[in-house]
């Protein structure tokens, strides 16, 4: 059984990760983390106390992290210290912070992805195939939409899609339109347009559970890994 820790356990994603992990027989939720300033940080969830000190990670197998860049880096250091694997879905990280994650993967196993959804990772692969074929004869644009609470724009997923297009075709994405309204879970569309046709690859998230379930799949994948930096493409064997 995988001893699982969940960071940001009182957040939107953290709460759902905890709930679904408790229904999965492969997991034993052993540690819950939350920021010390959270109004419910001193409460319990299903009888399990919430910790504000990362040292509580000692003895865990995997930590799932969907929080802020600052908290992610703090917990990354603790995971390296205690030999805990990490699933990182945090977005808005700077290049320097991403380098810290890469360095840490030399000591622990990490799955780091801008989007944990199985469906979105299929879109990543389809976008790579389309970009390689259209090369320099198509103009590429993107649109992404999320809820009003999301702080980063463009989304991490949109940035990943743009990087995939450039790597596969050598062409930069002409425009990324970001929309923040209501409670949109996550919509992404990549459009390839020529003088003769338009190709659109899109994904609509109906529920945050798609990200949660992907993160749990990633956590199971990590159990067999000692060190290294992986993406959901590795987890799903799409590479």
Catalytic positions: 146, 150
Are 161 and 128 in contact by the 8 Å Cβ rule? The answer is: no
User: Any idea which residue has 């347009």 for tokens?
Assistant: 193
Residue 55: which residues within 8 A CB-CB, separation 6 or more?
A: 78, 82
d(CA 235, CA 226): 14
Residue 95 makes CB contacts below 8 A (sequence gap 6+) with: none
Residue 102, C-beta contacts closer than 8 angstroms, at least 6 positions apart: 229
Residues 6+ positions from 141 with CB-CB distance below 8 Å: 173, 174, 175, 176, 177, 190, 191, 193
Q: Do the strands 139-146 and 175-180 form a parallel or antiparallel pair, or are they unpaired?
A: parallel
């Amino acid at each position: 059984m995988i001893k699982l820790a969940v960071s940001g356990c009182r957040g939107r994603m953290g709460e759902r990760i905890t709930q679904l992990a408790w229904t999965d027989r492969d997991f034993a939720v052993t540690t819950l983390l939350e920021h010390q300033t959270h109004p419910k940080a001193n409460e319990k969830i299903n009888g399990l106390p919430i910790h504000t000190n990362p040292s509580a990670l000692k003895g865990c197998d995997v930590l799932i992290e969907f929080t802020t860049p600052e908290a992610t880096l703090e917990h990354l250091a603790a995971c390296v210290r205690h030999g805990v694997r990490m699933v990182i879905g945090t977005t808005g990280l700077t290049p320097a912070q991403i380098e810290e994650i890469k360095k840490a993967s030399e000591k622990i196993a990490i799955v780091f992805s801008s989007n944990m959804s199985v469906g979105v990772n299929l879109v990543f692969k389809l976008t790579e195939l389309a970009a390689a074929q259209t090369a320099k004869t198509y103009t590429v644009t993107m649109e992404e939409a999320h809820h009003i609470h999301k702080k980063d724009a463009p989304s991490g997923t949109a940035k990943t899609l743009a990087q995939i297009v450039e790597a596969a075709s050598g062409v930069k994405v002409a425009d990324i339109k970001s929309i923040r309204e209501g409670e949109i879970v996550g919509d992404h569309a990549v459009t390839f347009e020529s003088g003769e046709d338009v190709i659109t690859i899109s994904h609509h998230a109906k529920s945050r559970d798609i990200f949660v379930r992907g993160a749990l799949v990633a956590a199971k994948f990590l159990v067999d890994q000692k060190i290294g930096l992986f993406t959901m493409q590795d987890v799903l064997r799409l590479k």
